[in-house]
Amino acid sequence: QPNVTSYGATAVAIITLEAFAGVWINAFIICVLCIAWVKKKTLNSSEKILLLLGCSRFCYLCLSWVYYFLSKIYPYYLYAHHILQLLQGAYSFFNCSNLWVSGCLCVFYCIKIANFRNRFFIFLKVNIDRIVPWLLLASEIFSLVIGILVYNIIDKAVCKNLNFTCQGRLWKATIGIEEHLFPVHFLTGFVYTTSFMAVIFSAVFLLFSLWRHKRKMQTNSMNSLSMDAHIRAMKSILSFFIMYSINFMSLILALIYSTKHQKHVMFLVYLIQHAFPGVHSLILIFSNPKLEKTLLRILSCVKCKLCMR
């Protein structure tokens, strides 16, 4: 039987709406890019990153919602037949993939648009299109390693604490499991920190490049189209930075309150974590001319059909 209060039902409804919106936004990105891939039979580097990011976020939101739904409505189901281990392992894989691939996107924007005379930077700029597939492959391999480690850590914790089936002692068992999840929190913190550092360095380098480029333009009294590219990339990376900062704070709150059972704080954490993939993907759509035009065309068609009714 479902085990839920009115507060729990409200929380599940809000998270469901949030996850549903995020799933559709990322499904839109996947569909548009897959159609373009079939038509052109190739994708450029930014489209490859966006496609993998959309797939990661789509799967992440689905698994995250399933885990949240079960934990609130059917909590006993999580501790049967390796469901908790599988969900947490897959969730960690797609979450890591989401964070590291979005970090790769920031680095790509920085290398592609910023201008520096450093030999290493010039080498990266020339070879970035060949580097991107390897960078994405490395991100997925590292994410898979993190997912496997999380699965093993939780499997050991579950085996140690759930060697009985009495429902009256299940609450004590869940507390025992959470107390053994410090390695999982450490791995999650590592993933967040590395991706966050990639975003910070990309924003700093791009901002410095923009400042130098603007000074050069003022000195030479000439206009340049690359200024618009700089500004667009800066807006995108600054949006990354702001959202990563909020997401990073939610991680710190999760680390502090995960074992204290502060349901209001943890609900806020889940709210932020489910909002991040959808809102950030929406920003990416409006910063990409192809995706933006397709979305506006679809919305105008929907509006016309509604008016005709």
CATH class of segment(s) 4-215+228-308: mainly alpha
Q: So where are the chain's domains?
A: 4-215+228-308
202-215 pLDDT per residue, tens: 878 877 877 776 66
> Can you tell me the distance from the alpha carbon of 185 to that of 282, in angstroms, rounded to the nearest whole number?
28
Task: Please compute the mean of the pLDDT values over residues 40-59 and round it to a whole number.
Answer: 91
Number of H helices, E strands in the chain: 9, 0
**CA quadruple 188, 55, 195, 141: dihedral sign:** positive
The pLDDT tens digits of the residues spanning 70-126 come to: 887 777 777 666 778 888 889 889 988 998 898 888 888 888 877 778 888 888 888
Question: Who has greater pLDDT, 273 or 137?
Answer: 137
Report pLDDT for 33. 92
Comparing C-alpha atoms, which of 89, 106, 46 is closest to residue 238? 106
Q: Is the dihedral of CA 241, 246, 250, 252 positive or negative?
A: positive
Instruction: Determine the Cα–Cα distance for residues 10 and 4; give it in Å rounded to an integer.
Output: 10
Q: Are 126 and 112 in contact (CB under 8 A)?
A: no
Q: How far apart are CA 135 and CA 141, in angstroms?
A: 10
pTM for this predicted structure: 0.84
> pLDDT value at position 286?
84
Cα 19 vs. chain centroid, distance in angstroms?
Answer: 12
pLDDT at 213: 67
Check residue 59 and give its pLDDT. 94
pLDDT surpasses 50 at 157: yes
Distance (Å, whole) CA 45 – CA 21:
26
| Percent of the chain at pLDDT exceeding 90 | 17
Asked if residues 196 and 248 have their Cβ atoms less than 8 Å apart, the reply is yes
24 CA to centre of own chain: 15
Mean pLDDT of the chain: 78
